[in-house]
């Protein structure tokens, strides 16, 4: 749920050539009929006709066969590696359908306030960081969440000024859609009582004086003119993220990307250091440049593909900027911030649809989701259905009558289960109980026939897919284990359904359901292997079940110690 990213001079013809050459890259040789790897034990295939098998054979980067131990043993040769699952389970490789991957890698070295439950603790952490740095160094942080503070009160600049009068401080909220600044940071950015609110953004002001409080929402964050003090190259961030992801069992991600990062991914692939598959999305604002240079979704290979164009229609529930039909229950004067007028957004979708681009639109409020569905419906009526698999990223609050439109229009609900189990702490306070019934409506969407693709929105939420699986099957807050029985439990999923949303659902969302997402002959040998059988565990145990192997294209890219 991060703000718009704009490419600055990165779309170069020479780079275009290097990106397009991805299409000519080849995979490992086709399977010979003899196995390089055999896995035996409990294997969840994700196939309705045969959900569990005893064994699986891999040849090259593909699955040769699945079946009984006796059937699969016929593929063994003396040099075949055998993995015997003693009490564990192998599943199709988990694919996170929504990440800001390089930003996530950067977040691993930044000052994080995730889970901090008071302003006083924030102040203590900032004071400690200032002591470590040269005088006047800007302090950048992330992941603060004011809904964890007593009274869920928005903080202000004076609370940062108390510990940092001489260092500019900028802390992004956990959703990435607002920021908390001290007085010096506002001054250095030229933000004062006379600064107008930019379109789609808000400079929160003191009602009495009109002075900025230090909270900037949505596009107002673009007014910040202070450079981060911690420097890390995009390649370092990506490598850090890759290492983190493989330890968590991820075999693929859909990632916010620019063309410079695409070149880095290509380089890492050629060097054998790309340990998962990337479906890379680009900003919708770059559609004209993409058309000029001939860039299209699907260009690339099984390891690195150009994906959809990303748009934003609104903000977030946590920042109170998600676009709603009715005002917020706890802020009756507000109903969210639109990032486009409805007409402008319709024109944007029309242009993308006419030119064959898949679009994934960030939409969280019920009005935002409705606007996206209507724009897609208009484009389909004008141009006919094209199987472009448009996506709504997050789709958190949906009017009940709009649920059926996902199936009717072929729109994918790209959702993040942990948003539910984080936001449930304040959702009813913000929008009331009735609208909350249709929040994070996974089961209703599935039952309507819609396709779901699950992810994390890392670094807004932790990357760990086990948190997503747990959230989907319990709808209980992870840190505090409430409420008993789950929040609106009629929307919970079975574990098999949750896994399928993280596997075949994500594969479908990238037009790759014939390549991955289930374990069956001919598909890529991407597997996540747990050391315990998650199908027989209590849900809480899913959060800590060990990942013992991550396998991508038949290669073991992560192996836990003692395995």
pLDDT tens digits for 496-543? 999 999 999 999 999 999 999 999 999 999 999 999 999 999 999 999
Q: Is the pLDDT of residue 101 over 90?
A: yes
**pLDDT at residue 393 is higher than 50:** yes
User: What is the predicted pLDDT for the residue at 475?
Assistant: 98
Handedness of CA 363, 280, 471, 376 (dihedral sign): positive
Name which residue leads in pLDDT, 376 or 231.
376
Q: List, as one string, the DSSP characters of 312-350.
A: E----TTTT-S--SS-BTTBTT-----SS-HHHHHHHHH
Q: What is the mean pLDDT of residues 318-323?
A: 95
- The percentage of the chain sitting over the pLDDT mark of 70, rounded to a whole number, equals 94
Question: For residue 21, is pLDDT > 50?
Answer: no
Q: What is the topology classification, in CATH, of domain 110-223?
A: Diaminopimelate Epimerase; Chain A, domain 1 (3.10.310)
484-489: average pLDDT: 97
Pairing of strands 169-173, 139-144: parallel
CATH tag, 29-93+517-563: 2.30.40.10
Please indicate whether residue 232 or residue 419 has the higher confidence score (pLDDT): 419
Average model confidence (pLDDT) across the chain? 93
pLDDT value, residue 289: 87
* pLDDT in the model for residue 18: 47
pLDDT at 232 over 80: yes
Average pLDDT estimate for 218-237: 91
Per-residue pLDDT, 432: 96
Mean pLDDT, range 372-398, rounded to an integer: 97
Domain ranges of the chain: 29-93+517-563, 110-223, 234-516
Query: What is the average pLDDT across 265-281?
Result: 96
Say which residues have a Cβ less than 8 Å from residue 460's Cβ, sequence separation at least 6.
1, 2, 100, 174, 175, 176, 416, 419
Supply the DSSP string of 211-229, one letter for each residue.
-EEEEEEEGGGGG-----S
pLDDT tens digits along 31-49: 457 999 999 999 999 999 9
Closest CA to 306 of 353, 362, 257: 257
pLDDT value of residue 338: 96
Q: What's the burial of 432, exposed, middle or buried (CB within 10 Å: 0-12/13-18/19+)?
A: middle
Q: Is 6's pLDDT higher than 80?
A: no
Q: What is the pLDDT of residues 512-521, one digit of tens each?
A: 999 999 999 9
pLDDT given at position 11? 39
Q: How does 152-173 read in b/e, with b if 16+ C-beta sit within 10 Å?
A: eebbbbebbeebbeebbbbbbb
Predicted confidence at residue 32, as pLDDT, reads: 52
Indicate the burial class of 20 (C-beta count within 10 angstroms; 0-12, 13-18, 19 or more): middle
Helix, coil or strand: residue 452? strand
* pTM beyond cutoff 0.95: no
> pLDDT tens digits, residue range 133-155?
999 999 999 999 999 999 999 99
- Over the stretch 181-194, which tens digit does the pLDDT of each residue have? 999 999 999 999 99
Residue 14 has pLDDT above 90, yes or no: no
Mean pLDDT over residues 432-444, rounded? Answer: 96
The pLDDT score that the predictor gives to residue 259 is 82
Tokens linked to 470: 């747990």
**What is the rounded distance in angstroms from the CA atom of residue 407 to the CA atom of residue 417?**
20
DSSP 2: P
How many Cβ atoms sit within 10 Å of the Cβ of residue 10? 16
Beta-ladder partners of 43: 53, 90
CATH top-level class for 234-516?
alpha beta
Confidence of residue 4 (pLDDT cuts 50, 70, 90): very low
Strands (E), 314-441: 359-363, 391-394, 412-415
Q: DSSP per residue over 238-257, as a string?
A: HHHHHHHHHHTTEEEEEEE-
Structure tokens at 419: 């948003």
* Whole-number Cα distances in Å, 61 to 90, 96, 521, 553: 17, 21, 11, 4
Residue 563 has what pLDDT? 81
């Amino acid at each position: 749920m991060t703000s718009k990213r704009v490419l600055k001079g990165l779309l170069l013809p020479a780079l275009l050539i290097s990106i397009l050459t991805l299409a000519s890259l080849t995979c490992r040789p086709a399977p010979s009929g003899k196995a390089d790897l055999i896995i035996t034990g409990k294997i969840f295939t994700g196939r309705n006709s045969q959900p569990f098998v005893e064994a699986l054979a891999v040849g090259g980067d593909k699955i040769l066969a699945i079946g009984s131990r006796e059937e699969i043993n016929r593929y063994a040769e003396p040099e075949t590696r055998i993995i015997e699952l003693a009490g564990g389970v192998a599943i199709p490789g988990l694919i996170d359908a929504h990440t800001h991957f390089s930003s996530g890698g950067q977040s691993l070295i930044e000052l994080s306030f995730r889970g901090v439950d008071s302003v006083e603790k924030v102040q203590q952490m900032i004071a400690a960081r200032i002591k470590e740095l040269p005088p006047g160094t800007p302090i950048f942080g992330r992941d603060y969440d004011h809904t964890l503070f007593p009274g869920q009160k928005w903080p202000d600049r004076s609370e940062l000024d108390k510990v940092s009068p001489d260092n500019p401080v900028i802390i992004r909220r956990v959703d990435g859609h607002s920021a908390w600044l001290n007085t010096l940071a506002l001054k250095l950015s030229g933000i004062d009582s006379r600064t107008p609110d930019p379109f789609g953004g808000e400079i929160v002001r003191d009602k009495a004086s009109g002075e900025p409080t230090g909270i900037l929402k949505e596009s107002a964050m673009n007014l910040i003119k202070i450079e981060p003090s911690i420097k890390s190259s995009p390649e370092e961030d990506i490598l850090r993220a890759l290492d983190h992801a493989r330890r968590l069992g991820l075999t693929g991600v859909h990632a916010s990307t620019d063309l410079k990062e695409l070149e880095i991914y290509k380089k890492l692939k050629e060097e054998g250091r790309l340990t998962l598959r990337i479906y890379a999305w680009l900003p919708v604002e770059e559609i004209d440049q993409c058309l000029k240079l001939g860039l299209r979704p699907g260009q690339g290979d099984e390891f690195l593909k150009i994906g959809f164009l990303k748009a934003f229609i609104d903000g977030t529930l946590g920042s109170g900027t998600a676009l709603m039909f009715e005002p917020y229950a706890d802020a009756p004067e507000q109903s969210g911030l639109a990032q486009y007028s409805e007409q402008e957004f319709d024109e944007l979708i029309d242009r993308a649809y006419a030119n064959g681009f898949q679009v994934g639109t960030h939409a969280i409020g019920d009005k935002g989701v409705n606007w996206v569905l209507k724009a897609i419906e208009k484009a389909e009526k004008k141009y006919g259905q094209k199987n472009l698999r448009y996506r709504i990223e997050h789709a958190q609050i949906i009017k009940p009558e709009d649920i059926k439109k996902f199936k009717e229009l072929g729109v994918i609900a790209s959702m993040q289960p942990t948003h539910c189990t984080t936001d449930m702490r304040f959702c009813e306070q913000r929008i009331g109980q009735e609208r909350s019934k249709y929040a994070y409506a996974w089961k209703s969407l599935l039952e309507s026939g819609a396709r779901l693709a699950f992810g994390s929105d890392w670094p807004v939420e932790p990357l760990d897919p086990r948190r997503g699986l747990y959230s989907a099957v319990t709808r209980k807050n992870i840190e505090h284990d409430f409420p008993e029985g789950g929040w609106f439990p009629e929307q919970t999923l079975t574990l098999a359904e949750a896994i399928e949303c993280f596997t075949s659902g994500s594969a479908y969302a990238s037009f790759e359901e014939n390549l991955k997402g289930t374990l069956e002959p001919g598909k890529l040998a991407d597997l996540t292997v747990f050391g315990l059988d998650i199908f027989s565990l209590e849900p809480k145990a899913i959060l800590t079940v060990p990942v013992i192997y991550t396998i991508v294209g038949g290669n073991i890219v992560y192996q836990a110690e003692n395995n």
